[in-house]
Structure formats: structure tokens, C-alpha cells
Structure 1
């Protein structure tokens, strides 16, 4: 009842939402009006240069060559032209920023709700959100004394009074587990809202929700060794016994995203299941930059860390699987 009530209000009383279906045939001959949305993993924070350096959107840290740009170029080589109406992906975005404006860091201003980019003639909507709504940066800071020393890095510990070295037990306890369960439920609910809103504002659009690449490998002993050229382990001082916990939480996030997409008839790009050999702990093969490893960005002359975001290799992996999914969707 809660979901029906909120959806009715949010979507102007429209209780029956059109869900787009694929049509048989070859790839479209005409350019496909497309909107990309998402958070820092779609914007590809950490990769330089960034778009919109002359206005407040520069604080979204959206890479000029983020995976939407790379995938668009790759599809063009396959004879599929995307008419990109907008790429509104922005670092730090919560799922709710799809329908509400987002406050940028350091008082840099606000950006409009991402859904404002949708048009009635939009035929393809692609992107991913959920990690910030889950509070993954807060989970990381709950498990690291070193990260707690960096106030400019986003996120606050879930409970700063609890020692970072005991974070595994914290998230298994009543308070920590209840916090995590609530956040996962919120992610799923908000993503359902997001997908419904896409169908409302762009009723003919195919919807592709993109998941997150895997951060922690199955063999967590690899995470105890710095990557080539680095001095810090990929997850800094995160306790060894907490690394499987981080992976478990990310898998729960992936499952919540997958379920939201399936329940709403959208397509899903499952990057978690495809990136087990390119985690932050895979050395030269890593597709994820370490928590404190310098990225390609700097702020006020100081290098910004990757903070567990895709590097160029990871960006290309994202683009590869997003390209394949878009091609599949547009060819069916």
C-alpha cells in the first residue's frame, strides 16, 4: 500500500505505468535519443579531464571520457548511433537525486533533478545509482581509522564511537545490521521509483540499469599487498576479517539492484559477476583504484584518491558490457 500511495503521488496520480517492451528487428537505422544518468561510477570520477569545468557541474567530476562516452563511440563503430540528449551523471548522487536537486560539495551550488533530462521522445535511458543511498562510503569509514582522518573524503562512519577494527562485528550486531538492512531496503524502493519515473516521463524508452563492478575478490589475501607502484594496500587499514564483509555487502547491493530491475521489467548490466578478476586487489589487472591511491584528478593542487572507483581499465570494462547490453536491447 505504501508503494502504491507514494507512486501515485510522485507520478501525478498515474497508477498504471507503461513498461516499454522490445520489438523484433535489426538495430535502428536512425539515431536513438538517449539519456545517461547516475552517480560517480557513471560519471567515472577520478578520470581526467572532466566536463563542465566552466560551471557548477564541474563539481560532478564527470569524466569527458566516461563509460557512456566510450560506449557511445563503440556502438557507433557497430552501426548504432546514439543521439545523446544528455549525460547528467554526477558524483555523490543518491537515487533520490533522480527526482530531487542535488547539493554539490563545498557549497558549489546545486544541479537539477536528473529526471529533468528525460524527454517524451527519449528512447533509451542508461545508468546506475544506489551505492550512495546504501551509504557505502560510510561503511568504508566505519572500517578504517585511516579514512576517518580524511574529512574531505565523502562519508561519515555509521557509528564513530565504535572502533574501526571491530567493524565486522558491528555490522553483524543489532544496530549495525538494522542500519544496513534499512539502507538496502531503501535502495530497492528508490530504484523502483526511479525506473517508474523513467517510464512515466519517457514512455517509449528502454531502461538499462547498470550495476557496480566488484571491489573485493574472493581471495582476500590479495588485498594485503600494495598494487605495483603503491605503498598502501588497496583497502588501506581495513581489517582483514572485514574484507569478506565488504564483498558481502556489495553483493547484497547488486542483488537489490537486480531485483528492482527485474520487478520493473528493466534490463540490468551485472558487472559484479563479470569483474571478479579486476578488483582493487588484482594488481596490474585491477580495474578499481585503491582507497588512497592517487587518481588522475587534483583539487587545489592536491591529488584526489581513487577511493575505490574504476580506473581507465575498469571504465573500459564498464563500457564493454554496457555496449553489449545496449546492442542487445536495440536489436531485439
Structure 2
């Protein structure tokens, strides 16, 4: 059964260039000798002043396969940056995103397609008058998520217990993303930087359309590395003073993965129905991302956030037996559970060293994470029970500022957060 499905995937690979890509189906290539670089030209520019928006990123940003397409870099006229720019009614909009982009392409010309002029370094699109930048999605091609997805599909991808074959790549990409964000800020000092993380590609458990190709463990490992990249982008955003937008928190995201019925897919499976490419957003997916970005930007600006509309229907057949929508009731229950969470900071000893132990409990089984902050800066995180973070008391004492715990509660695709102010224990005063 698995071998027959693999043959079908290999056939799809001939058409799509690579079968599964968590970031981009096109393989990045070096700049050809003598080629003229394609400079960044605004999609529109209505004059000076006003909101001037630049988008940076890879193919999850550019939107290959979603008609109508622009000529460069697999950019769709319906990708999320264009939809966001339209919604915000920006004065000027430049889309520098490009299929196959790696972090190095922030500074170097990128050949994205045979015979095409290389895309200019993405950071060259920024200027002193830029007021808004979406930074990412970016980093998936550096990590090699394409190869990881292929390994999962055609062999095995789950590493031996205690090993981490991607550790060095993640360390490098974290450094390069941080450097890129810092450079973007220096080139556009008046712009609000918005870092965009990746989405949920694979729902927990068995994935219907890919069940013959990926085991549950392979599916979980592949999604865990995508989550790891999103968490890396989150850390870079926090350290760089940028707004982080987590696509995993888009309302209903976990119900619109490659595992959903085709007409519900925000991320496409093997059959894309001429709407996007494999493991990339559909037109509805791009719409969902743009809506959620608009909501988060409004919240960041202290404006009234628009309501999210998840009614978009993707091309393809539907689920013959859809489940009733109980989202509102589950969200109400999750908020009630959040009220039961207790967070504490206490003094203890760990291997003879005086330690501050931050802990969270309660939540009636929905508790999913604990983040500890001092003066707003994160100092630790735990996403597994018993949800506690240990830090040397002397180090906590040297770091002045208010202590707080941010707890996350989760029910499938729904998440709520609660911030708890903590009392500084005696050993850390």
C-alpha cells in the first residue's frame, strides 16, 4: 500500500520539481554569470507619505500556483502580503519575497528560475521611508525541510533517541535570522517589523490524504521541526523587538491542514486542484494568513481588531460527513479552565544550588505551556508536564524587574493565554 502511494508521489514530483516542501518546491540555485539582477519595483506606489509596506520571505509568502501570478519569483497576486496591503490600503507596496529563498538571499541576488533574472537582495527593497515590514516566513530552505519531507515520504526521518541531526542548522539559521532582522531595522528605522512564523501543516494523529505515505510518528516529527522553526522565529522576534505573528494560532488552523478535506485545505496536499502547490497555502490559506496578520497588527497598534472570517472554501471535493462547529463553546470552556491555573515562584535547591522554581498547575488538563519572563524578557519555557522552569537564584536576583508567567491552554486548534504576575521569592531579592 505504501509503495503504490510512493509511486504516485514520485510521479507528482516530476511535475512539481520536489514532492513535499515545508518551505519551497523550487531548489535555490546560484546566480548565473552575466545575468542582470531583477531590482525591486513596487507593485503600486500612490505617492509619498502614508503606509509604505515591504514584504520579505520565501515561497510560503510568495504563493506559487495561486492564479493570477506575477512574472517574478512565483509571486501570486493573491498572496498574503498583497491581500494585507490591499486591506490596509497602503500607499506603496513592494513584494520582495521569492520562491526558494534562504536567509542568505536577504543580502545576495537569488536565481529563482532557469533563464530568469536573479531577484535582487531582499533587504535592498527597504528604505528610510518604509513604515511596515513583514519578515518571513523564512528559514525553511536553510533547514532543508524539503529533504526532511522527502525522507519521511520515501524512507525514514525520525532520528534515533537522543540525537538531533538538525541542531547545527537550527543554530545557524537562528543567527542569520537575527542578523537579517537587525539589518532590516537599520535600513528601515521607522518601520514596524512583523515576523511571520510557519503554519500547522499536519494535524495530530493519522493524516488521511497521506496515511499511506507517512506514519503517525513521521508526521509528528515533521510537524515538530516546522514548529521548531516557528519557535525560532518567535525568539528572534522577541529578542529583536518585533511583533511575532504565529500562523499556528490562526482560528481553525489545525482543521485546515493537508490532512483536511480538499475544500477545507489552507495547506495543499498532493492534489492541489490548480490552487497553490504541495505543502503550501491555497488561496483560502493566503486569505486566512492575511486576515490574521491584519488582526494582530490592529492589536499591536491599539486599534479595534476586525473579526476573523473562516468561511472561505478551497477548490476540491468536501468532507462527506463534516463535524458540527463547536468552536465557540470550546473557547468558552477553555477560558474557564484558564481561570483555574495557578503559577508560583519559590525557592528550592537543585543539586545543592539555590534555585528559583517557576511552576504552573491546574487548567483541568488543558495546560500546554509555561513561559517565564523578567521585565518582559523571556528567561525560560516548558511545554510538557509538570510545567516548571528552574533558574539559579543568584541570576534571577541580578535581573531586576517584574516576574510574570504566561501560561497557554489548548484544545485542538484553540489556544488561550493567561499572564500571571509573580511575587519575587526571598532568595531572588
Q: TM exceeds 0.5?
A: yes
Q: How far apart are the structure 2 equivalents of 1:42 and 1:84?
A: 18
Q: Secondary structure at the match of 2:244?
A: strand
Question: Which aligned runs of 4 or more in structure 1 are off by greater than 6 angstroms?
Answer: none
Partners of 1:206 and 1:329 within 8 A in 2: no
What does residue 194 of structure 1 align with? Answer: 180
Q: Quote the residue 2:119 is aligned against.
A: 111
> Unmatched 5+ residue regions in structure 1?
1-29, 76-80, 146-163, 227-232, 298-304
Q: Please give the alpha-carbon distance, in whole angstroms, between the structure 1 residues aligned to 2:55 and 2:132.
A: 8
Q: CA deviation at 1:209?
A: 0.7
Q: Distance in 2 between matches of 1:44 and 1:144?
A: 23
User: What TM-score does the superposition give when structure 2 sets the normalisation length?
Assistant: 0.55
Q: 1:280-308, CA deviations, whole angstroms, 9 ceiling, x for partnerless residues?
A: 11224221100x213527xxxxxxx7220
1 or 2, which has the higher helix percentage? 1
Aligned residues: 251
Q: Deviations over 1:179-225 (max 9, x none)?
A: x111211221111011101111111111001111110112x22x1x2
Q: Which residue of 1 aligns with 2:139?
A: 130
1:204 matched to 2:183? The reply is no
The aligned runs of 1:112-191 (5 Å cut-off) are: 112-128=120-136, 129-145=138-154, 164=155, 166-169=156-159, 172=161, 174=163, 177-178=164-165, 180-191=166-177
Larger radius of gyration: 2
SS at match of 2:53: strand
- Given candidates 248, 257, 261, the residue that maps to 1:279 is 257
Q: Which structure 2 residues correspond to residues 313-324 of structure 1 after superposition, within 5 A?
A: 313-324=284-295
Deviation of residue 329 (structure 1)? Answer: 3.5
Q: Deviations over 1:262-291 (max 9, x none)?
A: 00101110112332222111224221100x
Structure in which a larger fraction of residues adopt strand: 2
Question: 1:154-185: CA deviations, max 9, x gaps?
Answer: xxxxxxxxxx1x32136x574xx23x111211
Structure 2: how far apart are the matches of 1:331 and 1:125?
18
Matched, 1:34 2:53: yes
Unpaired runs of 5+ residues, structure 2, are 1-48, 304-429
Cα displacement (A) at 1:69 = 1.3
Q: What's the TM-score, normalizing by structure 1? A: 0.71
Which one scores higher on RCO, CA 8 angstroms, separation ≥ 6?
1
Report the counterpart of residue 151 of structure 1 in structure 2.
Answer: none
